[in-house]
Amino acid sequence: MFPRKPTNLIVAALCFCIVFTSLSPVALAQKKTAPVEATPPPLNERFKFGEVDLEVLEQADLLDVRFERDGLVLADESANAYLRRVGQALLPRDLVLERVSWKFRALRDPQPNAFALPNGSIYVTTGLITLIDNESQLAAIIAHELTHVMRRHTYMHNRSTRKKFLTMNVMQAVGAASPLSLVGAVITVVTTVAPFIMMATIYGYSRDLEREADHKGIDMMISAEYSPEEMVNVLKVLDKDIEGENIRLFYNDHPALDERIKYLSSYLGARADKVTHQMELNRERAAYFRNMESVMRHNLQLAINAGRVRSAVYLAQRLVDFHDDSENLFWLAESYRMLGPRAPQLTEKELTNSAKKDAAKKREKRTAEEEERELLATPAGKDNWQRHQQLAEELYQRALKAENPAPVVHRGLGMLYEKLGRGSDAAAEYEKYLELSPSAVDRGRIQRRIEVLKEKLK
Amino acid sequence: MRSLVLKIFAPVVLLAVCGSQPVRAQFLHPKVKSKETTISRIVVLPAKVSVVRDSMKGPEGMAAESDELSARVEAMVAEVLSKKKHVTTLPNTAASAEADPQQKYNVADFQTKFDDLLPKIMKKRSDVKKGRFSMGDEVLNLNLEKGTDAIVFIRGEGKKLTGGKTAFRLLVGGTPAYLRLQIGVVDARNGEVLLYTDPILVGDPTTAVDRLRSALEKGFKKLPEVKAL
């Protein structure tokens, strides 16, 4: 009766405390070694709180509570402390902002994203933390978000949007009351077109704020002696589009990634005169991976749950390249097992905008099992399935031979054997898992599987 | 002039014809319909209902009211199922999960899984009758109380109109204040979607308590009643 309209998305985004999602690109690479010009902190000093702003602030505070209550905030103190350290390094010393209390937290979401609430809460998703390469890239993301808060972008955007909505509604009312005449027809045409123009200005304003956050973010990175080039590199990382989901829409609240890469590269051309050596970057990368390894593993589970299996393979491979211990090998094996009949990478054809739109529609219709069945009916799907199951088995075996093998490897092998129809092997692996991990949270599920398998084997 | 009259009166007439409490269809899994599976003990997961205030200056968030409404809907679903169908609601795992992050994550991830499945159900709700939708045996990771038959997921969205927007709607048209719920009942043993219903009520979602109860009663009408022992 009340179909979802595209405008509902806008509504949700605007109303709900005007969360500023901002896929922050960031790029890494080299620490600035040359002395840099001091840049004034990007504050909006003329901003004064009004009643409407206080309402937005209240919604933001409630949203923080909701994230925490709903188990969306990652309860990993060391990861959150690391984010806080990077965030504090970017903030100008002695900065006090009215009604802002800085919080830096990881959000349990496999989709790469980051956003800031106007009360000073900065969230970086586990998906983005896992995708980036080093601390400078993380700093670029956080600097972008800090700018949104310091420049009071959420409040400014909300104020601007409210005015535009009022104008649109008044125009619609005028259009509804227009007389049946030539003048009336003109009014009707104007009032019909006006909302589209208004929507374009709303998105246009949003894109301007994003551009400002990109530029000011680079200035903050330079001041904190992070490699500003990493802002560009992070955008390149995001532009990879492993899952084929970066769809260009008619209205976009962020400038396109390639456009951001262009204008930031040109901005940096004028500012970055020296870059650090690649070796320094490699050291930074290793330190970043050490700090975030547990978050990355956690994110792999989330990515697999969300069906983002191509991302899971890509990210797990990076983890194994960094450190091939039993647990990381297990995650790579899990990712290949779940990849099943899918190709590990999308083809160029599948990455065109229209193909991505079609794929998004299909994803809405088909369940993961239906997609697998469809792919298994094709020769390419069958080949992929065989190859990936074999790869998964090899990786599980490697994980078992590694130092301190993780008990979950047996569970993974059990699931693989069950799918391959090797019932008794599967039951044996499940039993080993429960023996080594008697208080596992999924004990009930695995016991049930053993019972079913044994029943079938009788 | 004629168009103005149409714009003002058409929605009013339409509303009068449809009644103030339209209820959409409900779909039962064949196992429930044939009574092979009985839903007598349930766990209701925390509802996620969000409402916005629609004003002339655009929509505004109502986070506190949304939380309050979520709790009310959750309690009312349990009450309606108990009174009308004699279904027992067991203690909620999420409520006892406060201290254990892993259990909290399990509940959060399972809620997300339902959110991912929901658009697929919405595309073809009638396929619930074919038993097409399942959330898998990960449902057992929730470690619910033994004897739990089903888990209830509640989602909802609604809109409250300000005075100005109500007047504007009469002049220009548009959707009235409403609350649309999407409720899925999932088998606690194997994750199959046993029932899907999406009751709607027209009216201020934050105050229309009786209408909410009535919409829920109609929403669960087809669910077989549990026979008293």
The pLDDT assigned to B7 comes to 54
Sorted by where each begins, the domain ranges of chain B are 2-219
| pLDDT given at position B88 | 94
3-class secondary structure, B28 = strand
Cβ-Cβ contacts under 8 Å for B163 (sequence gap 6 or more)? none
* Same domain membership, residue A293 and residue A271: no
**Average pLDDT by stretches of 10, chain A with 458 residues:** 39 38 36 46 80 94 94 94 96 89 96 94 96 94 95 92 86 75 75 75 81 91 88 89 78 77 83 61 87 96 95 97 96 97 92 90 90 94 96 97 96 96 96 95 93 90
CA distance B156 to B76: 14
* Interface residue of A16, A245, A371 to substitute, partner B, most B CBs within 10 Å: A16
A394 with A251, same domain? Answer: no
Distance from CA of A108 to the nearest CA of B (A): 9
3-state secondary structure of B116: helix
The residue that leads in pLDDT, B174 or A11, is: B174
A55 shares its domain with A41: yes
b/e burial code for range A135-172 (CB count within 10 A of at least 16 → b): bbbbbbbbbbbbbbbbbbbbbbbbbebbebbbbbbebb
- A217 with A346, same domain: the answer is no
Residue of chain A minimizing CA distance to B97: A71
In 10 A of CB A191, how many CB atoms?
A: 19
The predicted pLDDT at position A413 comes to 97
Residues A197 and A298 in one domain: no
Provide the token pair at B109: 């991830």
pLDDT of res. A10: 38
> Cα separation of A235 and A263, whole Å?
12
Q: What are the chain B neighbours of A75 within 8 Å (beta carbons)? A: 101, 104
Alpha helix segments (H runs only) across A70-132: 77-90, 126-131
Tokens of B83: 């009174």
| pLDDT greater than 80 at residue B93 | no
> Rounded to whole angstroms, how far apart are CA atoms A12 and A21?
12
Which residues in chain B are closer than 8 Å to A70, comparing Cβ atoms? 46, 108, 111
- pLDDT of B39 > 50? The answer is yes
Alpha helices in chain B (DSSP H): 2-18, 30-33, 63-85, 101-123, 163-172, 209-219
B56, A165: Cβ pair inside 8 Å?
yes
- Which chain A residues are Cβ-neighbours of B7 within 8 angstroms? 176
Q: How far apart are CA A32 and CA B87, in angstroms?
A: 66
- The answer to whether B53 touches B166, Cβ cutoff 8 Å, is no
Q: Please classify residue A8 by burial: count the beta carbons closer than 10 Å to its beta carbon, then call 0-12 exposed, 13-18 middle and 19+ buried.
A: middle
Look up the pTM and report it: 0.85
Same domain, A168 and A202: yes
CA-wise closest residue to A346 among A237, A244, A238: A244
Identify whether the C-beta of residue A105 lies closer than 8 Å to the C-beta of residue A73.
yes
- Cβ-Cβ contacts under 8 Å, B124 against chain A: 365
Number of domains chain A contains: 2
| CA dist list (Å): A427 to A162, A455, B30, B110 | 61, 11, 31, 25
Nearest-CB residue to B60 (from A55, A164, A169): A55
d(CA B60, CA A55): 9
Is there a single domain that holds both residue A340 and residue A299? yes
Please classify residue B25 by burial: count the beta carbons closer than 10 Å to its beta carbon, then call 0-12 exposed, 13-18 middle and 19+ buried.
exposed
For residue A276, what pLDDT is reported?
57
- Shortest Cα distance from B166 to chain A (angstroms)? 12
Structural domain contains residue A49: yes
The set of residues, in sequence order, having a beta carbon less than 8 Å from that of A147 and lying 6+ positions away, is A42, A153, A212, A213, A216, A217, A220
The residue range of the domain holding A210 is 9-279
Q: Residue A359: give its domain's CATH number.
A: 1.25.40.10
Same domain, A275 and A293: no
SS3 A47: coil
Looking at residue A126, its pLDDT comes to 97
pLDDT at A115: 94
CA distances A338 to A412, B31, B107, B116, Å, are 10, 29, 22, 17
Among A21, A200, A148, A18, residue whose Cα is nearest residue B59: A18
Among residues A222, A255, A279, the one where a domain terminates is A279
Which pLDDT score is estimated for A258?
83
Asked whether residue A41 falls in the same domain as residue A84, the answer is yes
Pick the last residue of a domain from A217, A247, A279: A279
Across A160-292, where does the E strand assignment appear?
none
Residues paired with residue A122 on neighbouring β-strands, in sequence order: A104, A116
- The pLDDT of residue A182 is 73
- Give pLDDT, residue A294: 95
Residue B25 CA to chain centroid, in angstroms? 12
CA distances (Å), origin A10, targets A14, A16, B165: 6, 10, 18
Q: Is residue A1 part of a domain?
A: no
Angle between helices A135-150 and A77-90 (to 10 degrees): 60
Residue A311, domain member (yes or no):
yes
Residue of chain A nearest B21, judged by CA positions: A1
Distance CA A197, CA A285 (A): 45
To the nearest 10°, the Cα dihedral for A312, A318, A319, A325? 110
- ipTM, two decimals, is 0.84
Q: Answer yes or no: do A217 and A251 share one domain.
A: yes
Q: How far apart are CA A155 and CA A122, in angstroms?
A: 16
Whether A331 and A194 map to the same domain: the answer is no
Identify the helix (H) or strand (E) that includes residue B184: strand B178-187
Question: Are residue A16 and residue A151 in the same domain, yes or no?
Answer: yes
Position A277 scores a pLDDT of 64
Does the residue A163 lie in any domain?
A: yes
In a domain, A302, yes or no: yes
Residue B196 has pLDDT above 70, yes or no: yes
Location of structure tokens 């069906």: A307
Describe the crossing of helices A423-436 and A408-419 by its angle, rounded to 10 degrees.
170
Q: Do A66 and B63 touch (CB under 8 A)?
A: yes
Beta bridge partners of B160: B53
The bridge status of strand A114-116 relative to strand A121-125 is: antiparallel
Share of chain B above pLDDT 90, in %: 63
Helix (H) or strand (E) holding A50: none
Closest approach of B141 to chain A, Cα-based (Å): 5
The verdict on residue A3 lying in a domain is no
Q: Are B142 and B106 in contact (CB under 8 A)?
A: yes
A29 sits in the region (left: phi over 0; alpha: psi -120 to 50; else beta) called left
Does some domain include residue A327? yes
CA-based end-to-end distance of chain B? 65
Judged by CB atoms closer than 8 Å, whether chains meet at A441 and B116 is answered as no
